Amino acid sequence: MRKKILLRGPVLSRSGYGEQARFALRSLRKHEDRFDIYVINTQWGATGWTSQDDEERKYIDFLVQKTFHFTQNKGEFDLSLQVTVPNEWEKIAPVNIGYTAGIETTKISPVWVEKSMAMDKIIVTSNHSKDTMTGTSYPLMNPQTRQPMGTSISITTPIEVVGYPVKLIKKEAVDLDLETDFNFLMISQWGPRKNIENSILWFIEQFKDNPSVGLIVKGFARNNSTIDKTRTEHLLRQMVSSDVKCKVYLVHGDMSDSEMVGLYSHPKVKALVSLSHGEGYGLPLFEAAYLGLPVVTSNWSGQCDFLNMPIKQRKKGAKKKTTTVLKPMIGEVEYTLGPIQKEAVWDGVLQADSMWCYPDQASYQSVLTDVFNNYDKYKEMSKKLKAHVKKQFEAEKQYDAFANAVLPLEEKTDEAVVVSFD
pLDDT at 413: 47
pTM of the model: 0.91
What distance in Å separates the CA atoms of residue 84 and residue 86, rounded to the nearest whole number? 6
What distance in Å separates the CA atoms of residue 45 and residue 18, rounded to the nearest whole number? 11
Closest by Cα among 7, 14, 5 to 219: 14
Q: CB neighbours of 307 closer than 8 A, spacing ≥ 6?
A: 285, 289, 295, 297, 299, 328, 329, 330, 385
- Contact (Cβ atoms closer than 8 angstroms) between residue 178 and residue 212: no
pLDDT at 88: 96
CATH architecture of structural domain 182-393: 3-Layer(aba) Sandwich (3.40)
How many other C-beta atoms are found inside a 10 Å radius of the C-beta of residue 83?
Answer: 26
Identical fold at 3-165+397-418 and 182-393?
A: yes
The residue type of 16 is G
Q: What is the pLDDT along the chain (422 residues), one digit of tens a residue?
A: 899 999 999 999 988 899 999 999 999 999 999 999 999 999 886 565 665 678 999 999 999 999 999 999 999 999 999 999 999 999 999 999 999 998 999 999 999 999 999 999 999 999 999 999 999 999 876 777 777 776 788 999 999 999 999 998 999 999 999 999 999 999 988 889 999 999 999 999 999 999 999 999 998 766 777 888 888 888 888 888 889 999 999 998 888 889 999 999 999 999 999 999 999 999 999 999 999 999 999 999 999 999 999 988 777 766 677 888 999 999 999 999 999 999 999 888 899 999 999 999 999 999 999 999 999 999 999 999 999 999 999 999 999 999 999 998 666 444 444 444 44
State the number of CA atoms in the 13 A half-sphere of 202 facing the CB: 20
Give me the count of residues in the chain.
Answer: 422
Query: Quick one: DSSP state of residue 343?
Result: G
Question: Which DSSP string do the residues of 200-226 spell out, in sequence order?
Answer: HHHHHHHHTT-TTEEEEEEEESS-SSH
How many other C-beta atoms are found inside a 10 Å radius of the C-beta of residue 160?
Answer: 16
The residue type of 324 is T
- Indicate the CATH number for domain 3-165+397-418: 3.40.50
pLDDT at 417: 45
Angle, alpha carbons 122-295-375 (nearest 5°): 165
**H helix runs in 95-245, sequence order:** 110-117, 127-135, 196-207, 226-239
What distance in Å separates the CA atoms of residue 339 and residue 352, rounded to the nearest whole number? 7
What distance in Å separates the CA atoms of residue 68 and residue 75, rounded to the nearest whole number? 10
What distance in Å separates the CA atoms of residue 246 and residue 179, rounded to the nearest whole number? 10
Each domain of the chain, given as residue ranges in start order, spans 3-165+397-418, 182-393
Beta bridge partners of residue 269, listed in sequence order: 183
pLDDT at 314: 76
Question: Which DSSP string do the residues of 251-303 spell out, in sequence order?
Answer: E-S---HHHHHHHHT-TTEEEEE---S--SS-HHHHHHHHTT--EEE-S-STT
pLDDT at 52: 66
